Structures are given as C-alpha cells and as structure tokens.
Structure 1
Amino acid sequence: MTNLLDNIFWHALSGPQAHLSTGTGTARRYAPGFSPIVGFADPEQPDFDSLAPYCEPGERFYCDGWSGPVPAGWRVLVESTMLKMIWDAPMPAADEAPDAVPLGALHVEQAVALATLTNPGPFGPRTIELGDYFGYFDDAHAEGGRLMAMAGERSCALGLREISGVCTHPDYQGRGLARRLMTKLIRREMQRGETPFLHVMSRNDTARGMYERMGFRIYREVVVRVVALDQDAR
C-alpha cells in the first residue's frame, strides 16, 4: 500500500477523486476552487503538454516527485522538499476533540483566511469538500467566533487517506488544538479501515516532531515544486 504514496496525487485524481478533477489519461489537476495540485501518470516524465489546456496562464500549481528539466511554456516558481509520513501506531484510544465543529459552506471564508495566514499547504475555497474538516472556534469573539484551528482530509486512494490543512491561528497556538483535531481524524479514518498519511515540509522540524510523537513515521522525502504556465503560453 505504501508504494501508492510515491504518486499519491495521481492515484487520487485519476481514481476516487476523478469527479473533482479535470485533465487527461496522463495528467490531471483538482478542478478550479479546490487545492491547486497536479498529478501525472509518470511523475518522472510529466506530460505538461496535456495538462496545459486545463490551466490558466499564471495559475500556480503544486506537484511532487518531479525534478527534471522545466518544459517549454512553464516556469518553476518554488522548489523545495517535503516528507511523506504514514501512520504507524495503534488507533487512538479516544476522540480527543468531541466538541470540534464540522466545517461546511458557512465556514469557507474563515477556513481560507486561516490557511492564508498560516500556510499549511495549497488550499482553496472548495478544499473542505475533499473530505471531513473540523475546527475549533473562540466563542469570545463576535459573529459566531473566530476559527482558532482546523484540520481535515485531502487526497485518498485505495485505503489511504490524507490528513491536511492542519493549522492554528497564532493567537491560539500552544493549546494542543491541532493535535486534538488530528487525533479525531486519525481515529475516524482507522475506524473506516483507512491508513492516515500526511505531507510536511522537510524544514518544518516542529510539525514533523509532533507528527512523529503522535505515531507517524517518515516514508520518504521528495521534491516539491510550484509551477505556472507562462502568460503567453496560450
């Protein structure tokens, strides 16, 4: 099962989440509004020509597992590395966030704002439709409370379920909110017979350490790039 992680976004985009994506038999992306992520049937020789008609010039996309030459008509805006981590521990004994609020359409604006502030990874206004999302709100604030922390699910394929969008507002860090939300998701996924996994930037030692203490182990490190179609490419 773990070898699916080597090209997980392709397996998700061409499999159980195909209805939430667009593209061809060799290159796909999440549909506009979802997380701007692309996947290729062959990540070592990505078919950017097939992907281009489904992208707008200047639109930024994340892709992993590809470090070859940049194809004509495209630019690499960011290059870094990230860790793929998979759950390697027993199911959490209890739901540590029974009071967490399920996030839905009414919470999109706050979820996008929190993701923009904290940058947990590629996030769009429809990302919370990719799986279950939960959050904690500070009821001391007006207008129904401020979103303090959230965590949810993104890609999935053949028994693997990604935990993503994990973030906490700077004003509420240090309370263990994100960890509690993650534990809730891990338990729910394992009860469904799924194996949780996640991605974390290699340089994010704080998050990686927390994930390892929770029960995740490093599967492998991969290149991650942010790419964009040139403005005059179409």
Structure 2
Amino acid sequence: MMTHPLDNIFWHSLSDAQSCFAAGEGDARRYAKGFSPILGFANALQPDFDAINAYCEPGELFYCAGWIGTIPSGWTLEVESTMYRMLWDGVMPPEDATFQARRLNPDNVKDTQDAVSLAQLTNPGPFGMRTIALGEYLGCFDKDDRLIAMAGERSYAPPYREVSGVCTHPDFQGKGLAKRLMHRLIRRQLLADEIPFLHVMYSNSAAHELYLRMGFRDYCQTAVRVIRRIE
C-alpha cells in the first residue's frame, strides 16, 4: 500500500535520496555514524530490528519515530514522547538582504565543532559531528566569531525537505535570529520547488505556536522514542 512520504519520512529519506548518508539493509536503515542518530524502517509500526542490529554498536542512542510496540531484545528504552510533524502552508518569506548569516561548511573543522557545541548546549534534537553535511546549514556569529544561532536541513524525500537544528545560544535568545534563519532556508527551498517541513516536540508549546504563526500547519502527531543498543 502506498503511503505519503511524510507518514514515514525517515525511511523514505534514508532509502532513497539520502541513501548515500545511510547504513543498513533490508527494511531498516540508519544515518551513518557521525550523522544524526535516527533509525528508519519500511514498516514504522513493526520495525525490523534484526536488519539493523549489526549496524548499531552497544551504547549507541537512536531516535525512532512512529513506533510504540514492544522493545526488542538487545535494546532499552531511554525516552518515550510525542512530537508534531509540521508542513509548510504559508507564503514565500520576503527577502531579507540585510540579515547577516553565513553558510556552515561541513569541511571546516571550526564550523563543525561550533555547530555540535551549540547543539549540545541547546538540544534542538538528534545531532552529530557530520549533521551539517546533510543539507544547507546557516549560522549567525557574534563579533568574536562565535556561533550564536543556527538552522539547517536534515531529512529529504523529494520534494519534502526538513528544516532542523534550529537553536539559539541562551545569551542571544529573543532577538528573532532563529526565525530569520528559518525564513532564509524556507525561501531557498520554495524557490527550488521543495516543500519545507519540520518536527517539534509536543511539550515545546512555545516553538509549536511560533511555527504555526510562521506558516506551518500540523501534518500529524507521532510517537518518538530514544532507544539504546545494549548488546
């Protein structure tokens, strides 16, 4: 039975357009080591862990969406929650020529380290040393060349492109930096005939309300788990 790509977005991304960033076989994939620790399964409701076990080391944490079944042998549940998957339904954001933002270079050690440090400080979701290679990541910097805000692109199943890694250093929140970064990314995506979408935790009501005001709408609400390989 055919399903909409957004109903199982991580599988559609990892098994097709982003297969170059994936590891796994059969009906299971993961982003390769160093990228965002996310699992994707052809059947999200009944994931085939036997097909992915060999690609996951003991101690590794992974995010898994859309699944609420029994935890399989060799794994343990760390977090169980719910998130919104939101789809762009707004107008083209206006061009913001005066906004100072810079593309983060995945081949630049400083850019990579700065992005990971900001993600660790603010916890925008699963993030790894190589995550900024998954798409375009934009950052704002202070006068000392410190990364203070960023937003980028993660999963991609044409034409759906995820806006992700949205975060701002606590010392610079409330200035609208993340929103302006998001607008620049969304504008680029729309001009490329892509459709933006994003994820936000159900508990993060402030961010959810902001995204609704920006022009996103709720596509669905889905389970999300963080699980750990133990053997």
Which TM-score band applies after superposition, normalised by the shorter structure? over 0.9
| Distance verdict in 2 for CA 1:41–1:97, change over 3 Å | farther
Q: Structure 1: how far apart are the matches of 2:167 and 2:74?
A: 34
Q: Hey, what does 1:101 align to over in structure 2?
A: 102
Structure 1 position 217 matched with structure 2 position 202: no
Q: Hey, what does 1:120 align to over in structure 2?
A: 124
Give the drift of 1:99: 2.1
Is residue 95–residue 187 contact of structure 1 (8 Å, CA) maintained in 2?
no
TM-score by length of 1: 0.94
After alignment, is 105-114 or 12-21 more displaced? Answer: 105-114
Question: What is the 5 A alignment of 1:149-188?
Answer: 149-188=149-188
Give the drift of 1:146: 1.2
TM-score by length of 2: 0.95
Give the drift of 1:6: 1.1
Q: Structure 2: how far apart are the matches of 1:122 and 1:28?
A: 16
Q: How many residues align?
A: 227
Is the partner of 1:14 in helix, strand or coil? helix
* Stretches of structure 2 lacking an aligned partner (at least 5 in a row): none
Render the CA deviation track for 1:43-81: whole Å, top value 9, x for unaligned: 111000110000000100001000001111111111000
* Stretches of structure 1 lacking an aligned partner (at least 5 in a row): none
| Runs of 4 or more above 3 Å deviation | 95-98
Q: Hey, what does 1:138 align to over in structure 2?
A: 142
Render the CA deviation track for 1:5-32: whole Å, top value 9, x for unaligned: 1100000000010011100120000000
Question: What is the 5 A alignment of 1:223-234?
Answer: 223-230=223-230, 233=231
Q: Structure 2: how far apart are the matches of 1:112 and 1:81?
A: 24
After alignment, is 186-195 or 93-102 more displaced? Answer: 93-102
Is the partner of 2:219 in helix, strand or coil? strand
| Distance verdict in 2 for CA 1:15–1:176, change over 3 Å | same
Render the CA deviation track for 1:162-188: whole Å, top value 9, x for unaligned: 000000000000100000000000000
Q: Structure 2: how far apart are the matches of 1:96 and 1:207?
A: 25
Q: Percent identity?
A: 58
| Distance verdict in 2 for CA 1:47–1:215, change over 3 Å | same
Q: Structure 2: how far apart are the matches of 1:152 and 1:181?
A: 8
Is the partner of 1:175 in helix, strand or coil? coil
Is the partner of 1:198 in helix, strand or coil? strand
Q: Structure 1: how far apart are the matches of 2:71 and 2:174?
A: 41
Structure 1 position 189 matched with structure 2 position 189: yes
Render the CA deviation track for 1:134-158: whole Å, top value 9, x for unaligned: 000001x3xxx21110000000002
Give the drift of 1:95: 3.4
